[in-house]
Amino acid sequence: MLKPLGDSSILVQLGDEIDSALNQRVHTLDALLQSIPTVIETVPAYCTVLVHYDPLITTYNQIKNRIEEKISQLDESTHRPSRRLEIPVLYGNASGLDASTLLSTSFDLVAATLGLSPSELIRLHSEREYTIYMMGFTPGFPYMGILNEKLTLPRLSTPRTRVPAGSVAIAGSQTGIYPVDSPGGWHILGHTPLKLFDPASETPFLFSPGDIVKFIPTN
Amino acid sequence: MLELLEITGIATLQDSGRRGWNKFGVPTSGPMDWFACQAANFLLNNPPNSATIELGLGEITFHALRNTVLAVTGAGYEVENYIWTFPLWTTFYVRAGWTVRVKKTGGGNWAYIAIAGGFDSPVIMGSRSTYLRGGIGSALKAGDVLHSFTPTTDLLKLAARNFLLVGQDLSCPYKTQPEGCGTYVIEVIPAPQADWFTPEGIRAFYESEYILSPSFDRMGYRLQGPPIEKAITKELISEGMTMGSIQIPADGQPIVIMADAPTAGGYPKIANITRASLPLLAQCEAGVSKIRFRETTVDEAREKYRMLYHPFGI
């Protein structure tokens, strides 16, 4: 289903749910769309791809036809191979949070709220491989899933004003990593020393949408 | 070369934007008012993607370290030194040693200061645009010295050019709607979730007047007016969005996504402002300007955008 979003973007909707197979199709289509010369850039998300184009050089109908051709090739296309990345995580109470909210954000409190021992919490979070469904919120923030349902927690009702870069966190059925210091309402389980975003680098991002991530507990 | 002496409000360098990184969560950034930014570079024969100073809601005073020509465009400002005052949409010769001030005069939010040759600053991820929340570039501050590229056109030929004389068809977006007063008619195209709202909600959106809330910035413009009611209350699964997307959160008050906004979001979108109308919204005066939305089609919006863009060459 294709719909305009303003006069220079088209939203392609492939489904209406958060689902790994559907999201794989999104990333496969996203790869196919890159060969259309009038596409400026794309934003793959859970079940949609937003396609940005320049209306000075193409029309809505022209770009719509090109996208429809790519959608029709989707079923014969092999899945774009996913990269698999291992991310070291130091699980435990986060440091560097603003002091006023420190107590409400600790690893221990999450474990207690979920009724899990610390080691169980670490095992349940790190045993699965997660797909990066989409990236956004801040530069390089990966939305990953699906979490074991024993780890489901609603977001904090009041987001923290500052979550340090590298914080590994959970909310709902998803997990993510804060790439830059920012406000945030997810529950922090630990910290990775890896840099997810470096604007000065030739390759500024560690992750790409569609990558597979495995957390490795470290000391 | 300019040395910045005093800045109030927010001043950043912006070129035409950073493309290709939206899928990683990096907004396009670039100017809030693309037309004014393009016009400032156009007046100086600069490459269209040259960096300009975007000045928002404040004033800037600087000192020229070399002879140069500047162009200032936008709404709600004028330019002065000890001797003269210049209106916007013109170029003016500045001698080494002169102190120049871009001064707030009234309605309108953003001014663009271009320099002959274009400002030279580090290119980060393909662009000179500043994105403060992402740590890309930084806000300009007193003491900064800004360098520029060597202009390709003789400075005297660039002095005292006026956009309304140079732009062939005078299609300045503010021409019919004087800055900072009256009602702004903003054209929109219905967005993918336009059918998530009740008929009353849709009517409120197209038939009421909205005003810009004083808490606005480069990320988003919050509007105030009759709330827009939803018929579908399920959560939207986050999807990509773009400058001009009008989100309706739970309180029914529209939020317009602007240049530095997140690249994706989870509030339903009722409509999307056209490129031709974005400069008008960008320059609306908070609490004063009245905003009305009018539905248009993708094809009509494209025609208007092409006409506005015409003076800059396609």
pLDDT digits (tens, 9 = 90+) for A121-149: 999 999 999 999 999 988 999 999 999 99
How many whole angstroms separate alpha carbon B203 and alpha carbon B207? 6
What chain A holds in terms of domains, given with CATH numbers, is 2-76 (3.30.1360.40), 84-217 (2.40.100.10)
What is residue B86's predicted lDDT score, i.e. its pLDDT? 87
Interface ipTM: 0.94
Percent of chain B with pLDDT over 90: 76
Residues in CB range of B100: below 8 A, 6 or more apart: B61, B62, B63, B64, B70, B79, B80, B81, B94
What is residue A104's predicted lDDT score, i.e. its pLDDT? 47
Residue with tokens 């699980």, as numbered in its chain: A91
Nearest to A128 by CA among A171, A165, A184, A174: A174
What is residue B28's predicted lDDT score, i.e. its pLDDT? 97
Quote the radius of gyration of chain B (alpha carbons, Å). 20
Q: Which residue of B has its CA nearest to A206?
A: B24
Verify whether the Cβ–Cβ distance B238 to A46 is below 8 Å. Answer: yes
Q: Collect all residues of chain B within an 8 Å Cβ-Cβ radius of residue A137.
A: 25, 262, 264
Out of A9, A17, A135, name the one closest to residue B23 (CB).
A135
- Which tokens hold the place of B277? 């109308």
Q: Which residue of B has its CA nearest to A201?
A: B125
Over 80: is that where the pLDDT of B167 sits?
Answer: no
How many whole angstroms separate alpha carbon B235 and alpha carbon B172? 40
Our CA-based measurement puts residue B237 at a distance from the nearest CA of chain A, in whole angstroms, of 7
- Classified as helix, coil or strand, B269 is strand
Over 60: is that where the pLDDT of A97 sits?
Answer: no
A104-108: long-range contacts, CB 8 A cutoff, minimum separation 24: A104/A156, A105/A156, A105/A160, A105/A187, A105/A188, A107/A188, A107/A189, A107/A190
Residue type, A136: G
What is residue B175's predicted lDDT score, i.e. its pLDDT? 52
> Which of A39-53, A162-176, B169-183 is least confident?
B169-183
Q: Which residue of B has its CA nearest to A196?
A: B24
Verify whether the Cβ–Cβ distance A46 to B245 is below 8 Å. Answer: no
Torsion angles phi and psi, residue B50, rounded to 5: -65, 150
Averaged pLDDT for residues A154-171: 87
Over 70: is that where the pLDDT of B168 sits?
Answer: no
What chain B holds in terms of domains, given with CATH numbers, is 2-166 (no CATH), 183-312 (2.40.100.10)
Strand bridging mode B290-295 / B183-190: parallel
Interchain CB contact of A11 with B (< 8 Å):
yes
Out of B23, B239, B262, name the one closest to residue A209 (CB).
B23
Our CA-based measurement puts residue A107 at a distance from the nearest CA of chain B, in whole angstroms, of 27
What is residue A23's predicted lDDT score, i.e. its pLDDT? 94
What is residue B233's predicted lDDT score, i.e. its pLDDT? 83
DSSP B236: P
- Stated pTM of the model: 0.92
How many whole angstroms separate alpha carbon A90 and alpha carbon A168? 9
- Which tokens hold the place of B248? 């309706």
What is residue A76's predicted lDDT score, i.e. its pLDDT? 79
Verify whether the Cβ–Cβ distance B306 to A43 is below 8 Å. Answer: no
Our CA-based measurement puts residue B31 at a distance from the nearest CA of chain A, in whole angstroms, of 16
Interchain CB contact of A22 with B (< 8 Å):
no
Q: Which residue of B has its CA nearest to A203?
A: B125
What is residue A105's predicted lDDT score, i.e. its pLDDT? 58
- Classified as helix, coil or strand, A4 is strand
Q: Which band of pLDDT confidence, cut at 50, 70 and 90, is reported for residue B171?
A: very low
Verify whether the Cβ–Cβ distance B23 to A204 is below 8 Å. Answer: no
Over 70: is that where the pLDDT of A95 sits?
Answer: no
Q: Model confidence over A143-158: pLDDT tens digits?
A: 999 999 999 998 887 7
Out of A7, A16, A140, name the one closest to residue B24 (CB).
A140
Q: List all residues of chain A from 37 to 76 with a beta carbon under 8 Å from chain B.
A: 40-50, 52, 55-57, 59-60
Percent of chain B with pLDDT over 70: 94
Over 50: is that where the pLDDT of B170 sits?
Answer: no
Q: Which band of pLDDT confidence, cut at 50, 70 and 90, is reported for residue B307?
A: confident
> In what helix (H) or strand (E) does residue B246 lie, and over which residues does it extend?
strand B245-247
Q: Model confidence over B262-283: pLDDT tens digits?
A: 999 889 999 999 999 999 999 9
Out of A18, A49, A139, name the one closest to residue B26 (CB).
A139
Verify whether the Cβ–Cβ distance A6 to B244 is below 8 Å. Answer: yes
How many whole angstroms separate alpha carbon B16 and alpha carbon B35? 10
Q: Model confidence over B122-164: pLDDT tens digits?
A: 999 999 999 998 889 999 999 999 999 999 899 999 998 887 7
- Which tokens hold the place of B236? 């939207």
Over 90: is that where the pLDDT of A22 sits?
Answer: yes
What is residue A66's predicted lDDT score, i.e. its pLDDT? 97
Over 80: is that where the pLDDT of B87 sits?
Answer: yes
Q: How far is CA A184 from the centre of its chain?
A: 14
Our CA-based measurement puts residue B133 at a distance from the nearest CA of chain A, in whole angstroms, of 8
Percent of chain A with pLDDT over 90: 74
Q: Which residue of B has its CA nearest to A26?
A: B239
- Classified as helix, coil or strand, A89 is strand
How many whole angstroms separate alpha carbon A34 and alpha carbon A21? 21
Q: List all residues of chain A from 163 to 202 with a beta carbon under 8 Å from chain B.
A: 180, 182, 197, 199-200
Substitution target from A1, A2, A5, A39 for chain B, most B beta carbons within 10 A: A5
Our CA-based measurement puts residue B138 at a distance from the nearest CA of chain A, in whole angstroms, of 13
Q: Which residue of A has its CA nearest to B27?
A: A139
Verify whether the Cβ–Cβ distance A199 to B135 is below 8 Å. Answer: yes
Over 50: is that where the pLDDT of A20 sits?
Answer: yes
Out of B19, B275, B298, name the one closest to residue A4 (CB).
B298
Mean pLDDT of chain A: 90
Over 90: is that where the pLDDT of B310 sits?
Answer: no
Verify whether the Cβ–Cβ distance A5 to B135 is below 8 Å. Answer: no
What is residue B180's predicted lDDT score, i.e. its pLDDT? 44
How many whole angstroms separate alpha carbon A100 and alpha carbon A159? 12
- Per-residue b/e over A56-92, b at no fewer than 16 CB within 10 Å? eebebeebbebbeebbeeeeeeeeeebeebebebbbb
Query: Which residues from B are below 8 Å from A when comparing CB atoms?
Result: 19-26, 124-125, 133-136, 189, 191-192, 237-242, 244-245, 262-265, 269, 272-275, 298-299, 301-302, 305-306, 309, 314
Nearest to B240 by CA among A44, A139, A6, A145: A44
DSSP A36: -
DSSP A202: S
Our CA-based measurement puts residue A118 at a distance from the nearest CA of chain B, in whole angstroms, of 32
How many whole angstroms separate alpha carbon B22 and alpha carbon B25? 5
